[in-house]
Each structure stands twice: as structure tokens, then as C-alpha cells.
Amino acid sequence: MTAKKMILAADALLTMDAANSVLRGGAVLVEDGRIGAVGTAAELAAANPGVETRVLNGTVLMPGLVNAHVHSGFLRGTAEHLPVWDWLTQHINPMHRVLQPHEAEVASQLCYAESLLGGTTTVVDMWRFMDGSAKAAEAIGNRLVAVPYVGEHPDYNYFDTLDMNEAMIEAWHRKADGRINVWVGLEHPFYSDDAGHRRAIEMAKRHDTGFHTHCSEARIEVDGFVKRYGKRPMHVLDDIGFFEAPLTMIAHGVWLDPGEIELVAGKRVSVAHNPVSNMKLASGIANVREMLDAGVPVGIGTDGEKENNNFDMFEEMKVASLLGKLRYDTVQPLDSWEVLRMGTILGARAIGLDHEIGSIEPGKRADIIAVRADTPRMTPFFADGPYFNLHHNIVHAVRGGDVALTMVDGEVLVENGVLKTADVSAIIAEIHKVAPGLFARRAAFLAQNQGDMVQWTTSN
């Protein structure tokens, strides 16, 4: 945490406060890693003599984006256009069987570097051997919710275990000045036996932390729940006790029906919506409108590099907006403010951090980005008046590459498109060094075990 004070000033400031206030010529005072005040540059300079003002001409300040569901990894572009079952059994799960800690750590470095460069300050990462992920976040500077990829079932004994998850909580929860939080994770409810379910919930309660799992992503999975339990997934999760955790976030929730939405809306349950992944894996279109209307906090996530294939939250917000229109066959199911809120303050609420991040308001952590407004794709840009279009441009026109500055906890991590806290080319070189080895070990495993993959839809 820096003790430095500085004033950031830009062409406009998008606060994402409760009123979606926008300040033309807005500025923010950053003090001890937090937001000290919001106003015009002149007001803040007058009230804070001697404090440096950094004028970011041609930019818009806004809260750093919250990516509510990610997996670190480096299978990008290696498993495309496949039916989900082939994708999972031939590429993803065999990768998990042979993944080594050093590879997992470099994957997180790559993920967090890409995220910060694209304006994402908070990453909810479900990944493996996350001691390395926490070290990566500690060094690179992003905010991290670490969620171990746990399989607590003999068929999935090659995933992380609840023991590893608990060790991660003890080592890293609320560390790095609170930048790193550790939740309890489960790949999927079917990746655990009943004892594992009970222990996961008990662990989240005892450590007062969140619980995250994939659920209701594909129709076949909903059928699997009905076949096993005679109920749809959210009712099963409720019966098992998953919603007794301090906060439970469901990744995907594509197939929640009205009864399930009503159920989760009355609990401490949030949903991470992953529109690109849902399209790429042909999962379906989530009922986001209904979930928001019911009061379910819905954040936006990119999902992993293998499901997306990038971590550009601006692109993800655009797709969330557009996919919503397809789902409802009308042009206005979600407006740009709602999508922007899902990418910032509502995403922060979905992970229980809205008291700290997600908007630019005094007292909150200084997780702030500056987006270029001097580009062709931001033109014309009106921050006030009858032609106001800033929110629409941010959601539908901006790309991650337009981020000029990224700040977390008051530290400038990215400036003029350059990550200051890590050598990105060295990370890329290390990935190129280790990836062939991972792929070769996976190929060797598959050559010896073809046809030996367990399918959760047939195994209890």
C-alpha cells in the first residue's frame, strides 16, 4: 500500500455510484491506497495543496472491472469448435491430470498480466496449485479471489483437494493488504461425494468465506441432477446446504428456471454470467433479465482462456449486452448502465466486495482505470448533455487495448499500455517453454488411457 497522495484528472469520471453519476472534467484524490475524494481537478487541487495532479488528457476514469469467473491456463486456441464432451475428456480433464505447480503459476502470471492490461483489476480465478497464483497476484498487483479447483471424489482425485483448499485459506486469505481472498471451490457438485459437500460448506462457514462452483451450465447437466436427485440443480444445492455458506456464487446458471431464480434470490447466492463461454460451448443463454429483476447479483466473467479465448471484460460486457437481445428477441433487455454495473459494482457485490471496490466513491479502495477517449471508436463521445453516450461507448465500442492506466490499491500497475510490475515478454517466453511439455504429457496419458475417462452423467 502506498502512502502517496495523488490526484488523477481526466476528461470525464464514471463513478458507478448508486446514481451512475458522471463528472465531466472529473478527478479523484488517491490517498493511502484508497479514494480520498471525488470532484473536479480544480476543487481537489485547491483542497490538497502540494499534491501532484496527473492529468490524463483524452481519457475517462472508471472503476476497475471485476471478472467474476476465470480460469488461469494456457490451452488457448488448442481445443476449438469441439462438442463439449470431446473438449472435456480429450483436452481439459487430461490437462488437469498432468498439470504441474510451476506451469499453474506461470499460467496465473499470464492471466493476471492480461487482465490488468485490459482494465480488469479483480479476478475471481478458479485454478490449481493456487499458492503460485497468490504469489503471482502478490507480485503483479491485481486483486484476487482465489478459488481452488477441487474434486473430492475418487473419480476426480487429480484435481486439488479440500485439504489443499484449506491450506490455501490459512496461508493467503485476506493477505497482501486484503488484496487476496481465498474461497472454497468445487469444480462441480458432481465432482464431490456427499462428505465432500458437507466439508466444503462447513469450511466456508468456519473461515467466513465464499463458496464457488460451476452449476446449471448445460442442459444435459440439469438432466443429470433430475435423474440423480429428482430435482433441478438449485433445489438440490439448497437441500445439500450449499446456500448456508456466507456467500455462494454459481458460475453460469444458464438454465435456472423461474422457481430456481426465486429460490436463490432469497439466499446469499450470486451468479457469474459468462456469455462468450456459453456461446462457444453452445451451453445456452442465461435468464439474466429475470435474475436481475429478482435481485440476484449477477457479475460478468470471461471464463477461462480455453472457453473464450481472452480476458477482455470490455468485450465480455458487449457480448452480454448483445446476447441478452438474442435471448429476449427484443432490443432492450439490458441497458448499457445495467451491463456496466454488472462489470463493476454489481460484480463486486456478487463476490461480497462492494463495500471496498466496484465504484469510485470516497473510502473505497483505489481500483481505478483510465480508458482512452481519443480514439476513432470512442468518437463522438459526449460525457454530458442531450447527446450523452459515454456509457454506450464504454459497453459497445471500447476494447481492453484502450486502457491507458490501471491502478489497484492506489498503485499504478499499467501505464500507457505497459505493465510495470512484471516482464510480460518473460512470462510469454516461459509459457512457450513449458507448454509443449504439458501437451506431451497429456498426449502420453491419453495414449495409455483412451476410453478410460469417467463421465459424471453416468457415474454416481
Backbone Cα Rg of the chain: 22
DSSP-assigned states of every residue in 400-446: GGGEEEEEETTEEEEETTEESSS-HHHHHHHHHHHHHHHHHHHHHHH
For Zn ion, the closer CB: 60 or 144: 144
For Zn ion, the closer CB: 303 or 409: 303
What is the C-alpha separation between 218 and 281, in angstroms, rounded? 9
The region of 58-66, 117-125, 253-261, 300-308 touching Zn ion under the rule CB under 5 A is 300-308
For Zn ion, the closer CB: 147 or 398: 147
What is the C-alpha separation between 446 and 449, in angstroms, rounded? 5
CB of 214 to Zn ion, least distance (A): 5
For Zn ion, the closer CB: 179 or 214: 214
Amino acid at 220: I
DSSP-assigned states of every residue in 206-230: HTT-EEEEEES-SHHHHHHHHHHHS
158, three cell numbers? 487429480
CB of 144 to Zn ion, least distance (A): 16
The region of 59-67, 78-86, 93-101, 298-306 touching Zn ion under the rule CB under 5 A is 298-306
What lies within 8 Å, CB to CB, of 80 at 6+ separation is: none
What is the C-alpha separation between 132 and 138, in angstroms, rounded? 10
CB of 191 to Zn ion, least distance (A): 12
What lies within 8 Å, CB to CB, of 291 at 6+ separation is: 253, 256, 261, 265, 271, 298
The region of 30-38, 163-171, 296-304, 384-392 touching Zn ion under the rule CB under 5 A is 296-304
CB of 260 to Zn ion, least distance (A): 19
Candidates 231, 384, 397, 259; CA nearest to 321 is 397
CB of 14 to Zn ion, least distance (A): 28
Closest-approach residue to Zn ion (CB)? 303
CB of 219 to Zn ion, least distance (A): 17
For the chain, the straight-line distance linking the first and the last C-alpha, in angstroms and rounded, comes to: 48
For Zn ion, the closer CB: 166 or 303: 303
For Zn ion, the closer CB: 214 or 372: 214
Site string for Zn ion, 247-286 (x = CB under 5 A): ----------------------------------------
Residue numbers 228-247 binding Zn ion by CB under 5 A: none
For Zn ion, the closer CB: 9 or 186: 186
DSSP-assigned states of every residue in 379-398: -S--SSSTT--HHHHHHHT-
CB of 187 to Zn ion, least distance (A): 9
What lies within 8 Å, CB to CB, of 197 at 6+ separation is: 186, 189, 240, 241, 242
Candidates 151, 133, 132; CA nearest to 143 is 133
For Zn ion, the closer CB: 290 or 305: 305
229, three cell numbers? 436427485
For Zn ion, the closer CB: 183 or 381: 183
The region of 127-135, 151-159, 204-212, 299-307 touching Zn ion under the rule CB under 5 A is 299-307
The region of 58-66, 240-248, 259-267, 301-309 touching Zn ion under the rule CB under 5 A is 301-309
For Zn ion, the closer CB: 217 or 238: 217
Among 105, 160, 187, 303, binds Zn ion (CB under 5 A): 303
**In 304-360, which ranges are continuous DSSP H helix?**
313-328, 336-343, 345-350
Cα-based angle 367, 373, 378 (whole degrees, multiple of 5): 120
CB of 288 to Zn ion, least distance (A): 17
Q: Using CB under 5 A, count the residues that bind Zn ion.
A: 1
For Zn ion, the closer CB: 67 or 121: 67
What is the C-alpha separation between 419 and 67, in angstroms, rounded? 18
The yes or no reply on residue 315 touching Zn ion (CB under 5 A) is no
Q: What are the residues binding Zn ion (CB under 5 A)? A: 303
